[in-house]
């Protein structure tokens, strides 16, 4: 199983974690994050979301996040799978697993990874809500923006 | 020369297509491609200050040169996760 992926299939955090742990010779910590489709957003009642990706660049951006995290936390193993297509309320849009000798690094890397996904991975969600639909837009993606990267790291290590 | 243009999310909706082919003069940059698009479709200009660009599925800059056969992508602010 690839450690980073953009897929229309249902996500499998257990399989991703198992893959990472299989190579973790005696490591002590696994931290995971699962992002779910919420039923409310900015006062709107959400019906479902549609995710779209620029897939080859999205995979590269996910790999970049793994590399960045590896540079910060050298003994870390990190995996990220992002789902695209139509997702119903309560379904997982992203799963992240971080495996490390110690819990502090695992927690921090997991948080860092989701913050960076929101900054630099070319994926968009279209929210279908009661009464309309709208493309959500967050950060202008710029992997070389060191201020943004440091902000993600500060949040991760707070 | 000829390039393939990719547009995503709301930029795609505004343009009415996610994939376009455009013929450009030699010595073109990503900016040249964008100027050609926004001359045809002025509504895209609202993204000029907030979008990112990519050439052949690597993040790039407006001043980057483009070559025959390149894929040039314009990306609205992202909202993954």
Closest chain B C-alpha to A24 CA, distance in angstroms: 26
Q: Which residues contact A85 (CB under 8 A, 6 or more apart)?
A: A8, A50, A51
pLDDT for A107 beyond 90 = yes
- How sure is the predictor about A72, in pLDDT bands with cuts at 50, 70 and 90? very high
CATH number where B54 lies: 3.10.20.30
Contact A69, A109 (CB under 8 A): yes
- Residue (of B38, B35, B36) closest to B14 by Cα position: B38
Assigned domain for B81 exists: no
User: Angle at CA A33, nearest 5°, toward A27 and A35?
Assistant: 165
- Kindly indicate the confidence band of residue A151, based on its pLDDT and cuts at 50, 70 and 90: very high
Looking at residues B30-34, what average pLDDT do you find?
98
| Mean predicted confidence (pLDDT) in B38-48 | 97
Output the pLDDT for position A26: 85
The CATH number of the domain where A120 resides is what?
3.90.1170.40
pLDDT at A25: 74
Cβ atoms of A5 and A66 closer than 8 Å:
no
- At B7 the three-state DSSP class reads strand
Interval A17-65: pLDDT, tens: 999 999 777 889 999 999 999 999 999 999 999 999 999 999 999 999 9
Of A52, A57, A119, the CB nearest to B54: A57
Question: What residues have CB less than 8 Å from A42, skipping those under 6 apart?
Answer: none
In the predicted model, what is the mean pLDDT of chain B?
97
ipTM: 0.97
Say if B36 falls within a structural domain. yes
Chain B residues with CB under 8 Å of a chain A CB are 6, 8-10, 13, 50-52, 54, 57-59, 73, 75-81
Residue A156 scores a pLDDT above 90:
yes
Secondary structure in 3-state letters for chain A: CCCEEEECCCCCHHHHHHHHHHCCCCCCEEEEEEEECCCEECCEEEEEEEEEECHHHHHHHHHHHHHHHHHHCCCCEEEEEEECEEEECCCEEEEEEEEECCHHHHHHHHHHHHHHHHHHCCEEEEEEECCEEEECCCECCCCCCHHHHHHHHHHHHC
Cβ atoms of residues A109 and A33 within 8 Å: no
State which residues form the domain around A121: 4-157
Q: How many structural domains are present in chain B?
A: 1
Q: Is the model's pLDDT at B33 over the cut of 90? A: yes
Number of domains chain A is built from? 1
Q: Which of A117, A140, A143 sits opposite B80 (nearest CB)?
A: A117
């Amino acid at each position: 199983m690839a450690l980073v992926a953009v897929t229309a299939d249902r996500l499998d955090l257990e399989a991703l974690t198992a893959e990472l742990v299989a190579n973790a010779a005696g490591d002590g910590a696994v931290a995971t994050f699962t992002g779910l489709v919420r039923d409310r957003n900015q006062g709107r009642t959400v019906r479902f979301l549609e995710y779209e990706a620029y897939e080859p660049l999205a995979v590269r951006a996910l790999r970049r996040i793994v590399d960045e995290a590896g540079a910060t936390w050298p003994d870390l193993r990190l995996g990220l799978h992002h789902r695209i297509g139509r997702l119903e309320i309560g379904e997982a849009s992203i799963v992240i697993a971080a495996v490390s000798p110690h819990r502090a690094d695992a927690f921090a890397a997991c948080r860092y990874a989701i913050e960076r996904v929101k900054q630099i991975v070319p994926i968009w969600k279209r929210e279908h809500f009661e009464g309309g639909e709208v493309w959500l837009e967050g950060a202008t993606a710029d992997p070389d923006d060191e201020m943004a990267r440091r902000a993600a790291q500060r949040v991760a290590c707070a | 020369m000829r390039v393939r243009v990719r547009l995503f999310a709301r930029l795609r909706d505004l343009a009415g297509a996610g994939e376009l082919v455009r013929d450009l003069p030699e010595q073109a940059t990503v900016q040249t491609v964008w100027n050609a698009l926004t001359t045809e479709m002025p509504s895209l200009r609202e993204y000029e200050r907030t979008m990112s660009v990519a050439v052949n599925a690597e993040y790039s800059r407006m001043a980057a040169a483009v070559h025959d056969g390149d894929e040039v992508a314009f990306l609205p602010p992202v909202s993954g996760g």
